[in-house]
Amino acid sequence: MVMNLPVTRCGNTEFRWGERTYVMGVVNLSPDSFSGDGIGDDIDAAVAQAKRMVKEGADVIDVGGESTRPGTEPSLPDDITEELRLVIPVIERLAGELSVPISIDTYKSEVARQAVKAGATILNDIWGLKRDPALAQIASESGLPIILMANQRDAPPKAGILAKVIADLENGIRLAQDAGVPDENIIIDPGIGFGKTLEQNLELVNRLGELREMDKPVLLGTSRKSMIGLVLDLPPEQRLEGNLAVTAIGIANGADMVRVHDVEPTVRVCRMSDSIVRRGAIND
């Protein structure tokens, strides 16, 4: 599957969409992470985990300091003290010790601003600019890529989930463009698990290819999420095989990057899937 998407540049890294699937490794610093992998304020443990993920093949490390588990309410844009305390020291360390881009997982512009100063080079907004549109200005001013996710937790739709996701993504893209973010720096994420039912999540993965009409790289994040748990009746720490299946299907349906907790097995699945789906690009 070769797509004619422009190259996204992030420091010395180039994301050449369509040539292969990129892997984003998750470093959760929130102690109440839904997936049970929250590190808290142990900086050394967070750095060690990130380094291990890069050694296993991660192309990006995504650092987050606030839980997004189901049932949690988003905090206010000015409620940033604890989030900054967790993420900034880790990003500063990683920026000096890793060669891959570091993403900051936040929907608050001031956290993003300070994270960029600390060394983050990708912004990952789980609210797609709906909570704090000023994030787009930071992406524009810094020349960094921004990931916009479709989050329906504010108004869960009963029907027409794909249309709703596309509408939310289009709104986020428009806000980013109006702020001066170039098209090649915008990545979209359908937001699996955020305000969607099980059936809606399954439908989105199955119809992921329809997001290709938006002409943006697609990130898919399903790692350890309840969609897998509900289908397999398993807790988060036992959902690896389920997520590997979703990853392979996601790549076949057009995913360009996957956000995961289990990097090494995911990298292997991506390589195998890419050899089938993207063989034209790989052989060029």
Distance of CA 44 to the CA centre of its chain: 23
Looking up tokens 């930071």 gives 138
Judged on CB neighbours under 10 Å (0-12, 13-18, 19+), 235 is exposed
> Which one is catalytic: 225, 239, 268, 279?
225
Give 7's contacts (C-beta < 8 A, 6+ positions apart): 14, 15, 16, 17, 184
CA-to-CA distance for 160 and 107, rounded, in angstroms? Answer: 25
Give how far Cα 278 sits from Cα of 149, 217, 273, Å. Answer: 25, 15, 8
11 and 221 Cβ atoms separated by less than 8 Å: no
Structure tokens at 130: 């709906």
Q: Residues 177, 148: contact at Cβ < 8 Å? A: no
- 155: number of Cβ within 10 Å: 9
Single-letter code of the amino acid located at 67: S
The active-site residue out of 259, 268, 271, 278 is 259
How many residues are recorded in the chain? Answer: 284
Residues 37 and 26 sit within 8 Å (Cβ to Cβ): yes
Check if 225 is active-site.
Answer: yes
Residues with a known catalytic role: 225, 259
